[in-house]
């Protein structure tokens, strides 16, 4: 039997309790990676882990709130003690503030979105940079949204966080691209059947957009075929 394409690799997926994160975690495990699953909902994380183990894969859950200042550092220390490297990081966790005109943005929600979508991203890069550099093929894929680069009415709060998210990731990619084997990619999943999408488009038929597994398949294709540093990809929007 041939070796699985990601056998021996350690992967971290944020927001792994459902949607794109859960689908990606399952796909990575099916390809042989040991996947570390992070999210706040312990029960949902355990459900994803059970599905991975039932399919013969390997995973570890790490229930945590990325918005808590010390949680990311504790996780990186735990991974360093167990594996001393990180091969794959999929940054998927994000918060969608209420869609509203810029003049009516709720300051508390905006701060929460900035904390999770931007500040936590910087903290993840800082904490896991040494482990990624110890890998022979450190790969980071950040999930974004088209509103980060194409402003849209009522999406200003979320779009601003995603614009900052992309800038941070690409800046980091420029910084490490010439001094390590680490590569960074940004993926826009497009319209996908997720809880966040349902909140933004409550009247939409979920079956009219693609399932999270389609995005996970694109992520797997990027990792198995590999990608150039600073790659920008979009998943087709058809269901």
Which positions ≥6 away from 194 have C-beta within 8 Å?
Answer: 18, 19, 20, 212
Active site residues: 158
- pLDDT level of residue 221 (50, 70, 90 thresholds): very high
| Domain ranges within the chain, ordered by starting residue | 10-234
Q: d(Cα 196, Cα 219) in Å, to the nearest integer?
A: 19
Helix (H) / strand (E) containing 59: strand 58-63
pLDDT tens digits, 129-167: 999 999 999 999 999 999 999 999 999 999 999 999 999
Is residue 6 within 8 Å of residue 28, measured between CB atoms? Answer: yes
| Tens-place pLDDT, residues 31-90 | 999 999 999 999 999 999 999 999 999 999 999 999 997 999 999 999 999 999 999 999
Average pLDDT, the chain: 96
Cα distances (angstroms) measured from residue 201 to each of 90, 139, 189, 216: 25, 32, 16, 22
Fold of 10-234: Rossmann fold (3.40.50)
Query: pLDDT by residue (tens digit) across 109-139?
Result: 999 999 999 999 999 999 999 999 999 999 9
pTM of full prediction above 0.85 = yes
What is the pLDDT, as a whole number, of residue 2? 59
């Amino acid at each position: 039997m041939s070796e699985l394409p990601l056998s021996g690799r350690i992967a971290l997926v944020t927001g792994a309790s459902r949607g794109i994160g859960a689908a990606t975690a399952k796909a990575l495990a099916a390809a042989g990676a040991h996947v570390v699953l992070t999210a706040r909902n312990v029960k949902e994380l355990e459900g994803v882990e059970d599905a991975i183990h039932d399919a013969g894969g390997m995973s570890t859950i790490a229930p945590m709130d990325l918005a808590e200042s010390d949680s990311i550092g504790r996780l990186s220390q735990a991974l360093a003690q167990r594996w001393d490297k990180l091969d794959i990081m999929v940054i998927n966790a994000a918060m969608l503030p209420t869609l509203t005109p810029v003049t009516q943005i709720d300051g508390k929600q905006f701060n929460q979105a900035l904390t999770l979508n931007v500040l936590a991203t910087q903290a993840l890069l800082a904490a896991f940079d040494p482990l990624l550099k110890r890998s022979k093929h450190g790969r980071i894929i950040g999930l974004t949204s088209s509103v980060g680069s194409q402003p849209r009415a009522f999406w200003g709060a979320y779009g601003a966080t995603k614009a900052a998210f992309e800038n941070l990731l690409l800046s980091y990619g420029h910084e490490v691209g010439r001094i390590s084997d680490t590569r960074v990619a940004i993926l826009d999943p497009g319209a996908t059947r997720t809880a966040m999408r349902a909140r933004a488009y409550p009247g939409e038929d979920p079956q009219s957009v693609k399932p999270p597994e389609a995005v996970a398949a694109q992520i797997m294709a990027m990792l198995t075929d590999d990608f150039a540093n600073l790659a920008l990809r979009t998943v087709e929007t058809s269901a």
